[in-house]
Amino acid sequence: MKKVAVIDTKAGNLFSIFSCVRRIGFEPELIQSAEQISQKEFVAMIIPGQGRFGTVMSNLRSSQLDKVIIDWYQSDKKIIGICVGMQIFFEWSAEDLDNDGLGIRGLGLVKGTVTKLKSPKQPMVGWCEIDASISLLQQKTVYFVNSYAVKSSENEIATTYYGEQFVAAIQSKGLMAFQFHPEKSGSQGEEILQQCLTQ
């Protein structure tokens, strides 16, 4: 069975993503160090998506997995980012502040800033239809859990609306990333992940 590297951000429950990856015919492996990546052959990398931006970035930097992600991205290998796992590819997030009172710096691989949603309720929790420019994501209703998002991006391939329009998915090099949770979006989400891993 083909292996998928799931990056350990030390934030959130991994059960849903592991279960979904197995259901669509792949074997997930939790990656906690750079050495694990070099020891085995992986068809793709997944960065799961729960937790606060600042906590996730701090954990990635302390384990040096941020460098692993950057190298993987720059090598044009397949990456799937989910929720916060999408947001970290951008330049900054206002969700947390550093010691100087500024936003937290992301990986900076995609231009854009993560800001608080002007949504009717915080956080946004539930199903929402997305407006997509690629067939894989068209006519899909998917599951969101977030209070922060990117309002627009030159790499966006899907948007949605909840109080205001924001980016629902991006694509850049080998990266396909989602603000929503495909692993919690039923059969439509499974189809999205399966296509991402097999294309």
171/55 Cα distance (integer angstroms)? 24
Query: Can 181 be counted among the known catalytic residues?
Result: yes
20, 95, 183, 196: which one is catalytic? 183
pLDDT at residue number 126: 94
Query: Can 164 be counted among the known catalytic residues?
Result: no
Packed helices 53-63 and 65-74: angle between N→C axes, nearest 10 degrees = 90
Domains and CATH numbers, the chain: 3-198 (3.40.50.880)
20, 156, 181, 196: which one is catalytic? 181
**Amino acid in position 160:** T
Cβ-Cβ contacts under 8 Å for 149 (sequence gap 6 or more): 87, 114, 115, 117, 166, 167, 179
**What does the pLDDT look like over 97-115, one tens digit per residue?**
766 667 899 999 999 999 9
Tell me the whole-structure pTM to 2 decimals: 0.94
**What does the pLDDT look like over 29-78, one tens digit per residue?**
999 998 999 878 999 999 997 889 999 999 999 999 999 999 999 999 99
Angle in degrees, CA 170, 106, 33, rounded to 5: 95
**pLDDT, the chain, mean:** 94
83, 95, 156, 196: which one is catalytic? 83
Query: Can 183 be counted among the known catalytic residues?
Result: yes
